[in-house]
Chains A and B, each alone.
Chain A
């Protein structure tokens, strides 16, 4: 069982700060996702944890002990790379047993462990096969098996499924989640796919340009993003430019006027309003917006709307609702987040359940 903590970690490549002042705690048994677009520093961070990159500043601690000066072979971490995990000149059993042999275990014990871990990942008959005889998904499973057989304290996964086709990817990440839950191993999982993170993570650390934006549970990230970037990156979000009225009692965003409660008085005049698609509701007292397109996605409808002041808006609604292209509908904003640059104000009612549940 292990806790992982990163303290003020930083890494420079030339003049470019790949990771900047990153402080993060991963709890024992937790599956933490590092999520962000390409170049945000998530893989660099993972490699620093594994020992494949040296931080320029900061510390990495496992159970309170610093591991930063240890080479990869002496760290209690195990990594599954995106590709090129398995050694092509060894069988599956050879790949898995390699690390065990280094620890001078008797060969009967090694064989038993290899068989056990292959069963765990669902490939009981694969021991004598060579990597090139396995499919992409099977190879990654063997890579996971090889990582787990050494009983590491921390499991590190670097976008392990992004090379697989979509269906397999969904299946594999569910398997990994179940495996991780069953064993209870502390895991750090890097991905650029926010849906993947939302599905499997206990907590997600969102990164951008080397800086940590927010660390929270998937629910909290979705409902209460703390930066505009996170609001836009997680799920779908409508972003509207809003102006605060002179007296500060209300703000205007496009055709809508939202009252500001006395406790919420933003400092400046310009504010960005973030509205989830499911928080746009039909209301006879609402503002008129034109329906541009109705997209039927099976169990819900996605409506594209235009209003001259706000541009295209996206709305999710029940499949039974009747919308016609070209129609003018009256919509109200049930809930919104106002980003002032220094704070986030929550306006409106509690989060409405999203009709667009992940498939």
Chain B
């Protein structure tokens, strides 16, 4: 006797769907909601469902010198890492998408495979190298660690983007007199822009949120926001970490909104379906 009858009853099916949705929503949003409430809490005593609200922890955080230093370090290192990553990876992505050269497939896969190893193991080895190069506790060291995290996004997404642009569009530019460089900058790049922006967003977030490697390499003078979170979470009252979390999520939120806009850009679809 199959359970088919169960699914056949639309009302029951809908009830299961809705309760599953609510359960998932509770699981995913619950923790975030709790954190958000904590960020505006003065004190929250068990077993009250809500705390006494206060903004005092915000003043505490924003006036803390260490915190502002960490914010500044994050806002300095992550953009540098992202821009550097874009500069070296986007031409490479174009080569992967358009050119034939020996070992192309292997090289492309190797970027993917580098992600196949436990990050923390990598960081310990890299830390040894940076120690020998005197790059420990330097901005350069932090940027390099963040750079590694962006490689995957900056190679794979742009490669797919460039591959999706029909060659005829570039050949047409050559045909009317544009050389290869001009064609790349005036034709290929603008059409590829939405994909490249998405890649940059994900790369920035990966660089900005990087904590494990920066913990090892940036201590004690080049701490970024995520690394600071470790200490805040472990040694301070919960509202402190919560406030900091809200601050730390702001770039993600901003980029979420920007990404939405680019995913809807008019010529994104048109360029690939003309």
Interface residues of A (CB under 8 A from B): 50-52, 71-74, 77-79, 81-89, 98-99, 102-103, 130-132, 139, 143, 146-147, 150
Contacts and interface: CB of A to CB of B under 8 A. Distances in A.
B168 A51 contact: no
Given A130-B267, A131-B270, A85 B168 contact: yes
A146 B274 CA distance: 16
Contacts of A82: 168
Contact of B174 (A71, A83, A103): A71
Contacts of B174: 51-52, 71-73
A239 B170 CA distance: 46
Interface stretch (B126-134, B175-183, B227-235): B175-183
B274 A86 contact: yes
10 contacts: A52-B171, A71-B174, A71-B179, A72-B171, A78-B175, A87-B187, A89-B267, A98-B176, A99-B176, A147-B175
B42 to A, nearest CB: 53
Nearest to B271: A88
Interface string B154-187: 0000000000001111011111111100100011
Nearest to B172: A85
Of all A-B residue pairs in the complex, the 3 with the closest CB atoms, nearest first, are A99-B176, A132-B270, A84-B166
A83 B271 contact: no
B168 A150 contact: no
Nearest to A78: B175
B266 interface: yes
B274 to A, nearest CB: 6
A88 B177 contact: no
B240 interface: no
Given A98-B173, A131-B274, A132-B270, A88 B191 contact: yes
Interface of B: 166-169, 171-179, 182, 186-187, 190-191, 266-267, 269-271, 274
B176 A78 contact: yes
Contacts of A71: 174, 179
Contacts of B191: 87-89
A154 to B, nearest CB: 11
Contacts of A77: 175
Given A81-B172, A98-B173, 16 more contacts: A71-B174, A72-B171, A72-B174, A73-B178, A74-B177, A79-B171, A82-B168, A83-B168, A84-B172, A86-B172, A87-B187, A88-B271, A99-B178, A132-B269, A147-B175, A150-B176
Nearest to A96: B176
Given A89-B190, A130-B267, A132-B267, A84 B175 contact: no
A51 B267 CA distance: 29
A87 B185 CA distance: 13
Contacts of A81: 168, 171-172
Contacts of B179: 71, 73
Contacts of B269: 132
B183 to A, nearest CB: 8
A88 B166 CA distance: 11
Contacts of A146: 172, 176
A150 B177 contact: yes
A269 B177 CA distance: 58
Contacts of B173: 87, 98
Contacts of A78: 175-176
Nearest to B266: A132
Given A84-B274, A88-B274, A103 B171 contact: no
Contacts of B186: 98
B106 to A, nearest CB: 21
A73 B274 CA distance: 23
B177 A99 contact: yes
B274 A83 contact: yes
A73 B177 contact: yes
B192 to A, nearest CB: 10
B187 to A, nearest CB: 6
A79 B169 CA distance: 11
Contact of A84 (B168, B178, B190): B168
Nearest to B187: A87
A186 B179 CA distance: 25
A156 B274 CA distance: 20
A296 to B, nearest CB: 42
Nearest to B182: A102
B191 to A, nearest CB: 6
A74 to B, nearest CB: 8
Contacts of B168: 81-85
Contact of B274 (A79, A139, A150): A139
B91 to A, nearest CB: 20
Contacts of B177: 73-74, 99, 102-103, 150
B232 to A, nearest CB: 45
Contacts of A84: 166-169, 172, 274
Contacts of A50: 171, 175
B269 to A, nearest CB: 8
Contacts of B274: 83-86, 88, 131-132, 139
Contacts of A88: 191, 267, 270-271, 274
A284 B246 CA distance: 100
A139 B182 CA distance: 23
Contacts of A99: 176-178
A87 to B, nearest CB: 6
A99 B172 CA distance: 10
